Amino acid sequence: MANLEKTLVLIKPDAFSKHYSGDIIKIYEKEGFRIVAMKLLKMDERLASIHYAEHIGRPYYEDLVGFMTSAPIIAMVLEGEDAIARVRTLNGKTNPVEAAEGTIRKLYASSGSRNAVHASDSPENAEREIHIFFNETEILDGKYQPKA
């Protein structure tokens, strides 16, 4: 039986500012993921401190928060078979120099810290991260199918 999962994806300020959002979304859709929630927002310091709680106090935290609050982001919940692992593979390694050809980061990231996208790394983090950005009424039921 298929392992249907949901994962959080953030299109980060660098990709949004360079007008890569549509191209990135298209890659996820072409891979068969369903967008079950999506919103455009500007992350503030409070939201960043919740999302990046495990990074508070690390040397790069202030730069990370400054970057993530610098411009709008797009938050999405993608659903699909083995979505967490497949989305992370599709995103590529954090550093675009090390990312495989054709991955989102190889195509759209400029550095390891300005790397275009974020995706949840485990089922537990997906559950936690999704609910930082979305409440249950904003997430479509996975059985939703648009009318032809």
What whole-number distance in Å separates Cα of residue 102 and Cα of residue 129? 26
Residue 121 lies in a domain: yes
Number of domains forming the structure of the chain: 1
Residue 32 lies in a domain: yes
Per-residue burial over 88-114, b = 16 or more CB atoms within 10 Å of its CB, e = otherwise:
bebbbbeebeebeeebbbbbbbeeeee
Quick one: average pLDDT of 35-59? 97
Rounded to a whole number, what is the largest CA-CA distance in the chain? 51
- The reply to whether the predicted model has a pTM over 0.85 is yes
121: containing domain: 4-138
Residue 146 lies in a domain: no
Query: Which pLDDT belongs to residue 141?
Result: 78
Quick one: average pLDDT of 31-37? 97
- Which CATH number goes with the domain that contains 26? 3.30.70.141
Annotated catalytic residues are 118
Residue 51 lies in a domain: yes
